[in-house]
Amino acid sequence: MIYLDHSATSPPNEEVIQSYVAVSTKYFANPSSLHKLGVEANALFEQATVQIKQLLSMPQGEVIYTSGGTEANNLAIIGYARKNVHLGKHIVTTTIEHASVLEACRALEKEGFTITYLPVDEQGQVVIEQLKEALTDETILVSIMHVNNEMGATQNIRALKEVIQRHSQAVFHVDAVQSFGKIDVPFGIDGADMMSISAHKINGMRGSGALFLRHRYPLEPILYGGGQQQNIRSGTIPLAEAVALAKAMRLAIRTTEREEYRQWKNQMIDHVESLSEIQVVGPHDGAAHIIALAIRGIRGEVAVNFLQQRDIIVSTSSACSSLDGTLSHVAEALKIPKEWATGIIRISLGVTTTGEQIEQLLHALTALNEQVK
């Protein structure tokens, strides 16, 4: 079977699994317990956190472990907004964000916050001048994803940060779920102030993720309980998940900017240009590991099933929203014609992808094109 749906989830690395199992078995005690086993578990937890800070070059920063990217995004947006409401009630984001960002912003609108949803151009990029115009003295937070999960559109994080710093006091949150470990993510003084990642997108364990803070920004908890993790994220400290995440991050950073991704994406683009009923949608020069294709006149699910019958696994434009049958908000934002927008599939590459698999995919796409003509 050929698996080309790594942006939905990636197969866990064997080393990561071994780390998770070893820690779960040997250090099973609650890291918050005062007895010897708890102290040993907490020491390992602190060690994993130090390793992550070193990977990100953020010795003064903070690591908040979460259940994944959705919780990390919610904590960054809702947590920061509620805690800092005295500084302002305006937030800027975009129309192509992940649902975990958009729905968090809509929840804050009900609490009296004003949200500016920036449009994007046909390449899926934020127009710098529009961001500049949106910023006010009331803007406390800007949340913009690095790589779009559906179309692979990539934002210039450094350029966005420069505008935000120059024209506001806002903190910059970046959803890096689809970019970390794939391309370089600017984090720190010239990049994100807060950054969300998810372990299972980088060959880690499902149900694990983190929010990274460049400084100890004040956050209001969105979960209430025992006050673990500096009173920001209550719940039993996820020791095995933290150690496994540190391992997955180290391995992912080694393969960042894998050269074959761009070669394979260009190969797919060249091949699709020869097909009459299939076209590339979204930016050609976006993230190399994501390519979105539209098939004229059929729904994306039909194309997914066609490829699955040939042992090729892809998804519709977003695995998170593929079951509701609605038109993708990203396709609408990029102004993709409706005759194409209903038939979008997403091909996403990962560490297990090979050139032979891409060749087989191209043959299958040719067959799909013939069938729908």
Q: Which residues are marked as active site?
A: 320
Q: Is 69 within 8 Å of 198 (Cβ atoms)?
A: yes
Could you give the CA distance from residue 178 to residue 200 in angstroms, rounded to a whole number?
11
- HSE at residue 298, side-chain half, CA atoms within 13 A, is 19
Closest CA to 70 of 327, 343, 319, 335: 319
b/e map 354-369, b = 16+ CB within 10 Å: eeebbeebbebbeebb
List the strands of the sheet with 62-66, edge to edge: 62-66, 209-213, 194-198, 171-175, 139-143, 90-94, 114-118
Could you give the CA distance from residue 323 to residue 2 in angstroms, rounded to a whole number?
22
Q: What sign results for the dihedral spanned by CA atoms 362, 363, 364, 370?
A: positive
Q: Which residue has the tokens 């779920």?
A: 177
Q: What 8-state DSSP symbol labels residue 142?
A: E
Give the distance, in angstroms, between the CA of residue 342 and the centroid of all CA atoms in the same chain: 23
Q: Is 70 within 8 Å of 264 (Cβ atoms)?
A: no
Q: Is 165 within 8 Å of 240 (Cβ atoms)?
A: no
Collect all residues with Cβ–Cβ distance below 8 Å to 254 and sequence separation of at least 6.
none
Q: Rounded to whole angstroms, what are the CA distances from 252 to 145, 308, 349?
A: 19, 28, 13
The DSSP H or E segment spanning 347 is: strand 344-348
Q: Rounded to whole angstroms, what are the CA distances from 258 to 293, 326, 329?
A: 22, 33, 29
- HSE at residue 249, side-chain half, CA atoms within 13 A, is 27
